[in-house]
């Protein structure tokens, strides 16, 4: 039933009560002690006084005088008898005695005992005089001392002066009374009182404490219950608020705290809910992006993997790897990266080793090691998988951590086989086209009649060369070759000259016995005839040739063929007009044009070439301006899914003001601020900036016709001025409409 605070209160109250009662008892004790002292003192004084009167002072003085010489025995006996009587009559426990000043010494502060109720005689030696003794001896005062303690108990002394007959003080008589009994009684009473008071204090304390403490602690206990209930999770509970004491304000504060706590808790709950939702959302995002990555890894047409310094492949990698290398997905993680990626590669063992060393020096090391060494990693290799050769491209990307270390490398691997094949094909085609361009170049520089004559003359000669070679008629062969070479020299057919010269030399050597390979001669002769027919074919097919030169048809690189056909056709026209042909450059990124597009391109080129030459060069020339050699550039580029053809000249360009004026005159809408709009007028039917009409241009049908043709293939056409001079005709086709395949080929030829 006692709470801790009750016990403390009890102890405190009891102690206070006990202390109070003890102090009271103490006072009572001390006052009773005083009373006892006074009573006993009075008694001792009365005994001493009575006894002192009965003593003969003169005798006593006499005795006092004789003490030193031991005289006066009779008087002593009388005194002793008297004193003994006093002792006995009063039933004293100690002896009654008298004393006087030690008269024989100057020091008056000493006393000397004179007589005693005991038999013994005193020594003469003095004893220090106490204050009361002095008073009695000098003033003749009588009285009693305070209670004092000796080894034999507690005492109180009464004293009274003895007078001689002459009225002088002869000495003092002292009587001592034992106080022990009375004092003990008083003390016992005191102790009893203390014990009783302690018990009473305890009982009273208990009652008081119980009442007070119960009243005081009950709100605290109640508050304690509320606190515990709150600690148990019930945040709705509140303390009862009543009264005006500290507990009340504590309860109020507590309730306030509880409210705040409840509020915070609710907020926390809401926050937690939000947080959970957020975490869920984030988790979903992460899962989604992981899925996305996994989807990418599952479908990307590239081998993608990562690895750390162990050089072993991590768990995430693209499915393509397994497909490409024909290795089960399960066998890829943990596998050495080079071992998987470069099986039976064209790398030498040293190159392979260097790649391996580089990976070791880079992964897990300082980022600068990547800078130093990454060039040693192979970026392309030819490998063998299941007996077939593949060309792969390798792209290594470092993944740095926060501490400037290359934590991992990512490797992206691509199959470049098809691309390299295509490039090879393009290169071969490029070479072929270059050869063609060379021949055309050679052919267009000569007059058609001369070329025609050469071919008419050489056809039987080449037949003869073929025959002589198979017959082994070397002299005949030599002669024919020599003549052919001479003809080729006249026309400057370098390719043909080269092979003919080589064969000539081989024949010479053969004759002189320097070589004995008949095959060399045969091959040489074949090369000569092949080369000859190539020239002939170009002459016939590409340049139109002559009716008396015939050959089988073989399709060569379409765009170039077209361009050169036109260049050749305009060449003579130009010479007639007094113009000079400068540089024609051709760039064709299309590997294979659709065959149905070629006639269209052909028409476009006819129109645009004659436009360029007429407007850009011929008219200025006619009007007296100095014109530079005609320079034309024709390009077909690919951009995303478009094929863009640009035909540029460096002539005088378009006269913008004139176009604006003409457009106004013909009521054609045009926005003067926009070049595209102004020059767009030129595509209008019957719009021509030329003042006069020429045979091939100036009738206003060129550009509208081109636009018509281009639109048919879903293309767009525009025209504008070049920088610094000239015009640019731009034609933009959807790639799928015009070509089968595209790559890159660029050729330039001065004609």
Partner 1 sequence: MGKILIVDDSDMFRDELKLALKNGEHEVLEASDGLDGLNKAKESSGIDIIISDFNMPELNGLQMVAMIKELEQYKTTPIFILTTETSPELKQQATTAGVMAWIVKPFVEKKLLMGISKILSMKAS
Of 348 and 388, the one with the shorter C-beta distance to partner 1 is 348
Name the burial class of residue 106, with classes exposed (0-12), middle (13-18) and buried (19+) by CB atoms within 10 angstroms of its CB.
exposed
Q: Is the peptide bond before 620 cis (omega within 30 degrees of 0)?
A: no
Q: How far is the CB of 557 from partner 1 (least distance, A)?
A: 39
- Does position 396 interact with partner 1 (CB under 8 A)? The reply is no
CA–CA gap between residue 57 and residue 69 (Å, rounded): 19
**Spatial contact of 376 and 351, defined as CB atoms under 8 Å apart:** no
Name the burial class of residue 451, with classes exposed (0-12), middle (13-18) and buried (19+) by CB atoms within 10 angstroms of its CB.
buried
- Does position 399 interact with partner 1 (CB under 8 A)? The reply is no
- Does position 375 interact with partner 1 (CB under 8 A)? The reply is yes
Q: How far is the CB of 383 from partner 1 (least distance, A)?
A: 22
Dihedral through CA 60, CA 64, CA 70, CA 73, nearest 10? 0
Of 360 and 432, the one with the shorter C-beta distance to partner 1 is 360
Name which position in 256, 372, 530, 575 contacts partner 1 (CB under 8 A).
372
Name which position in 272, 371, 419, 674 contacts partner 1 (CB under 8 A).
371
Of 27 and 372, the one with the shorter C-beta distance to partner 1 is 372
CA–CA gap between residue 496 and residue 484 (Å, rounded): 9
Q: How far is the CB of 331 from partner 1 (least distance, A)?
A: 24
- Does position 576 interact with partner 1 (CB under 8 A)? The reply is no
Q: How many other CB atoms are there within 10 angstroms of residue 718's CB atom?
A: 17
Give the H or E element holding residue 256.
helix 246-299
Q: How far is the CB of 674 from partner 1 (least distance, A)?
A: 48
Of 406 and 561, the one with the shorter C-beta distance to partner 1 is 406
Q: How far is the CB of 401 from partner 1 (least distance, A)?
A: 15
- Does position 369 interact with partner 1 (CB under 8 A)? The reply is yes
Q: How far is the CB of 356 from partner 1 (least distance, A)?
A: 9
- Does position 368 interact with partner 1 (CB under 8 A)? The reply is yes
* Beta strand pairing call for 127-128 and 169-178: unpaired
Q: How many other CB atoms are there within 10 angstroms of residue 694's CB atom?
A: 16
3-state secondary structure of 648: strand
> Taking Cα atoms as reference points, which of 67, 64, 96 lies closest to residue 80?
96
Of 179 and 406, the one with the shorter C-beta distance to partner 1 is 406
CA–CA gap between residue 542 and residue 551 (Å, rounded): 12
CA–CA gap between residue 155 and residue 168 (Å, rounded): 29
Draw the binding track, 334-363, toward partner 1 (x: CB under 8 A; -: no contact). Answer: -------------------xx--xx-xx--
Of 261 and 399, the one with the shorter C-beta distance to partner 1 is 399
- Does position 365 interact with partner 1 (CB under 8 A)? The reply is yes
Following DSSP, what letter does each residue of 582-628 receive, concatenated?
EEEEEEE-EEEE-TTHHHHHHHHHHHHHHHIIIIIIIHHHHTT---P
Of 408 and 749, the one with the shorter C-beta distance to partner 1 is 408
Q: How far is the CB of 368 from partner 1 (least distance, A)?
A: 5
Q: Which stretch binds partner 1 (CB under 8 A): 161-169, 367-375, 433-441, 541-549?
A: 367-375
Of 373 and 725, the one with the shorter C-beta distance to partner 1 is 373
**Spatial contact of 114 and 171, defined as CB atoms under 8 Å apart:** yes
Name which position in 3, 193, 373, 473 contacts partner 1 (CB under 8 A).
373
Following DSSP, what letter does each residue of 351-418 receive, concatenated?
HHHHHHHHHHHHTTSBHHHHHHHGGGS-SEEEEEETTEEEEEEEEEEEEE-TTSBEEEEEEEEEE-HH
Of 19 and 368, the one with the shorter C-beta distance to partner 1 is 368
- Does position 407 interact with partner 1 (CB under 8 A)? The reply is no
Q: How far is the CB of 375 from partner 1 (least distance, A)?
A: 4
CA–CA gap between residue 414 and residue 249 (Å, rounded): 80
Strand ranges in 86-205 using DSSP code E only, listed in sequence order: 97-101, 110-116, 127-128, 143-144, 148-150, 153-163, 169-178
Give the H or E element holding residue 481.
helix 474-491
- Does position 489 interact with partner 1 (CB under 8 A)? The reply is no
Work out the angle at residue 342's Cα, subtended by the Cα atoms of residues 339 and 345, and round it to the nearest 5 degrees. Answer: 130
Q: How far is the CB of 309 from partner 1 (least distance, A)?
A: 9
Of 354 and 556, the one with the shorter C-beta distance to partner 1 is 354
- Does position 376 interact with partner 1 (CB under 8 A)? The reply is yes
Q: How far is the CB of 522 from partner 1 (least distance, A)?
A: 49
Total chain residues near partner 1 (CB under 8 A): 16
Work out the angle at residue 525's Cα, subtended by the Cα atoms of residues 522 and 529, and round it to the nearest 5 degrees. Answer: 140
Segment 242 to 281, residues that bind partner 1, using CB under 8 A: none
Of 66 and 373, the one with the shorter C-beta distance to partner 1 is 373
Of 376 and 594, the one with the shorter C-beta distance to partner 1 is 376
Q: Rule CB under 8 A: which residues touch partner 1?
A: 353-354, 357-358, 360-361, 365-366, 368-369, 371-376
């Amino acid at each position: 039933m006692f709470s801790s605070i009750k016990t403390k209160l009890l102890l405190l109250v009891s102690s206070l009560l006990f202390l109070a009662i003890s102090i009271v008892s103490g006072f009572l004790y001390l006052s009773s002690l005083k009373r006892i002292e006074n009573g006993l003192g009075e008694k001792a004084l009365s005994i001493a006084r009575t006894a002192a009167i009965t003593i003969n002072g003169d005798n006593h003085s006499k005795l006092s005088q004789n003490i030193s010489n031991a005289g006066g025995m009779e008087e002593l006996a009388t005194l002793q008898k008297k004193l003994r009587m006093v002792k006995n009559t009063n039933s004293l426990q100690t002896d009654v005695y008298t004393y006087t000043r030690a008269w024989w010494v100057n020091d008056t502060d000493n006393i000397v005992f004179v007589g005693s109720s005991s038999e013994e005689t005193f020594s003469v030696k003095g004893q220090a005089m106490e204050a009361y003794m002095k008073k009695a001896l000098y003033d003749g005062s009588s009285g009693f001392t305070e209670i004092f303690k000796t080894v034999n108990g507690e005492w109180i002394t009464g004293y009274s002066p003895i007078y001689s007959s002459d009225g002088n003080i002869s000495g003092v008589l002292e009587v001592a009374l034992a106080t022990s009994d009375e004092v003990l009684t008083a003390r016992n009473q005191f102790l009893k009182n203390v014990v009783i008071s302690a018990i009473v204090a305890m009982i009273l304390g208990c009652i008081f404490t119980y009442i007070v403490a119960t009243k005081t602690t009950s709100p605290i206990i109640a508050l304690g219950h509320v606190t515990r209930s709150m600690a148990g999770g019930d945040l709705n509970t509140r303390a009862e608020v009543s009264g005006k004491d500290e507990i009340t304000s504590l309860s109020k504060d507590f309730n306030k705290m509880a409210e705040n706590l409840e509020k915070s808790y609710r907020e926390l709950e809401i926050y937690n809910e939000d947080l959970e939702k957020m975490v869920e959302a984030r988790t979903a995002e992460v899962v989604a992006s992981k899925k996305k990555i996994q989807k990418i890894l599952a479908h990307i047409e590239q081998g993608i993997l990562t690895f750390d310094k162990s050089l072993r492949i991590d768990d995430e990698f693209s499915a393509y790897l397994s497909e490409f290398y024909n290795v089960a997905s399960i066998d890829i993680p943990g596998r050495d990266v080079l071992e998987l990626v470069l099986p039976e590669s064209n790398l030498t063992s040293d190159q392979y080793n260097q790649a391996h060393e580089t990976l070791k020096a880079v992964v897990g090391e300082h980022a600068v090691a990547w800078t130093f060494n990454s060039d040693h990693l192979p970026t392309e290799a030819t490998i063998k998988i299941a007996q077939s050769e593949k060309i792969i491209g390798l792209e290594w990307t470092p993944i740095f951590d926060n501490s400037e270390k290359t934590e991992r490398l990512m490797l992206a691997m691509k199959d470049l086989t098809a691309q390299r094949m295509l490039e090879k094909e393009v290169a071969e085609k490029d070479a072929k086209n270059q050869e063609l361009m060379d021949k055309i170049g050679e052919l267009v520089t000569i007059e058609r009649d001369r070329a025609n004559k050469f071919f008419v003359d050489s056809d039987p000669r080449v037949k003869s060369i073929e025959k002589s070679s198979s017959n082994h008629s070397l002299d005949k062969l030599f002669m024919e070759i020599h003549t052919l070479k001479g003809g080729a020299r006249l026309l400057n057919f370098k390719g043909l000259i080269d092979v003919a010269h080589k064969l000539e030399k081989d024949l010479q050597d053969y004759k002189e016995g320097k070589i004995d390979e008949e095959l060399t001669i045969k091959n040489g002769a074949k090369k000569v005839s092949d080369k000859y027919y190539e020239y002939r074919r170009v002459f016939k097919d590409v340049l139109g040739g002559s009716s008396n030169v015939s050959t089988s048809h073989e399709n060569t690189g379409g765009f170039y063929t077209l361009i050169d056909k036109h260049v050749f056709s305009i060449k003579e026209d130009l010479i007639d007009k007094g113009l000079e042909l400068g540089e024609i450059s051709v760039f064709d990124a299309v590997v294979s044009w659709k065959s149905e597009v070629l006639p269209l391109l052909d028409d476009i080129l006819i129109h645009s070439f004659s436009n360029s030459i007429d407007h850009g060069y011929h008219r200025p020339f006619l009007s007296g301006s100095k014109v530079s050699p005609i320079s034309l550039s024709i390009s077909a580029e690919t951009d995303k899914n478009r094929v863009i053809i640009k035909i540029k000249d460096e002539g005088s360009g378009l006269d913008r003001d004139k176009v604006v004026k003409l457009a106004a005159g013909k009521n054609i809408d045009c926005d003067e601020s926009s070049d595209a709009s102004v020059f767009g007028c030129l595509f209008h039917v019957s719009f021509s900036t030329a003042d006069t009409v020429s045979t091939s241009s100036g009738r206003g049908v060129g550009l509208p016709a081109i636009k018509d043709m281009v639109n048919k293939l879903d293309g767009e056409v525009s025209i504008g001025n070049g920088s610094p001079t000239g015009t640019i005709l731009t034609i933009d086709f959807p790639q799928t409409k015009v070509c089968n395949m595209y790559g890159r080929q660029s050729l330039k030829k001065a004609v």
